Amino acid sequence: MKGIKRFTSILLISACVSLSWGGSGSVWPLENAVVQFIELNSHRDKEAMAIFIQQLQDQVVLQPVLYPVLCSALFRYADWGIASDADRNRTYRLAIEAGEKAVRYAPDDVMSHYAYALSCGRIAEREGGLGALDLLKKFESHLQQVLSRDPDFYLAYYAFAMRYRDAPWPMKDEKKAEEYYRKTIRIEPNYLNAYYDLSLLLLRQNRKVEARECLLFVIAHPAHPEWIEESGEIRGLSEQLLANLR
């Protein structure tokens, strides 16, 4: 799959990987860890992801280049694998800690900056307070570092789109949000989340014809191979929204 190969190649920048994948005393090859993460996240396998994270927490001691994978796994697991708000916030905080180390050990690694940015943004969104502004600055600056290294990294554009769509005034900018959604779609036309979220933005502006086109695209197209469960959820939400669209 193009996306998996690209994700893997990004994380392999400056990495020295071992030749074995074995027990707790063995050093994991980075490429294997990345592919395993993508698979678990795509299918949202809670039990397997929890075990994977525990193993990664041991592995990063042996192989610090795995910190971007640990940060990504913690962030996604908090998103869909944990019910308790307190536990989710704790896990997002662990993701931030892993992200800080990822950026330290692999400062030129695109995924280090991306995973760290998302973790900072999520805590800022959930907790607010005086620390939220500093976290939002980190969110934006590390996403900019992603795009400076890889201008075609579609998930970074999607993250910026969500930031501009959902931010409170005066930081909200729906024109920029639409621009970033459309950049996401242009780079990765099979990423269904961007179509659905763009439809919500268009409906706010009473642009129903364009919103309908986005929703019909989601319903008609198969799940993205890297986002299988999430694609199914987005399809269901799109069907509901389309049914209620007048």
Q: Over the stretch 88-124, which tens digit does the pLDDT of each residue have?
A: 999 999 999 999 999 999 898 999 999 999 999 999 9
Question: Which residue range is the domain that position 130 belongs to?
Answer: 1-151
CATH number of the structural domain spanning residue 63: 1.25.40
Q: Tell me the C-alpha distance between 165 and 239, whole Å.
A: 22
Q: How many CB atoms lie within 10 A of CB 22?
A: 9
Q: What is the pLDDT of residue 236?
A: 98
Q: What is the pLDDT of residue 8?
A: 42
Domain contains 34: yes
Q: Over the stretch 210-238, which tens digit does the pLDDT of each residue have?
A: 999 999 999 999 999 999 999 999 999 99
Q: What is the pLDDT of residue 17?
A: 34
Q: What is the pLDDT of residue 97?
A: 97
Q: What is the pLDDT of residue 166?
A: 82
Number of domains the chain contains: 1
Q: Considering the entire predicted model, what is its pTM?
A: 0.87
Domain contains 169: no
Domain contains 92: yes
Q: What is the pLDDT of residue 172?
A: 85
Domain contains 238: no
- Give, for all 246 residues of the chain, the pLDDT tens digit: 344 444 444 444 333 333 234 444 578 888 999 999 999 999 999 999 999 999 999 999 999 999 999 999 999 999 999 999 999 999 999 999 999 999 999 898 999 999 999 999 999 988 877 678 899 999 999 999 999 999 999 999 999 999 998 877 667 899 999 999 999 999 999 999 999 999 999 999 999 999 999 999 999 999 999 999 999 999 999 999 999 987
Domain contains 246: no
Domain contains 110: yes
Domain contains 167: no
Domain contains 226: no
- Residue 224 CB-half CA count within 13 A: 24
* Whether the Cβ atoms of residue 81 and residue 95 lie closer than 8 Å to each other: no
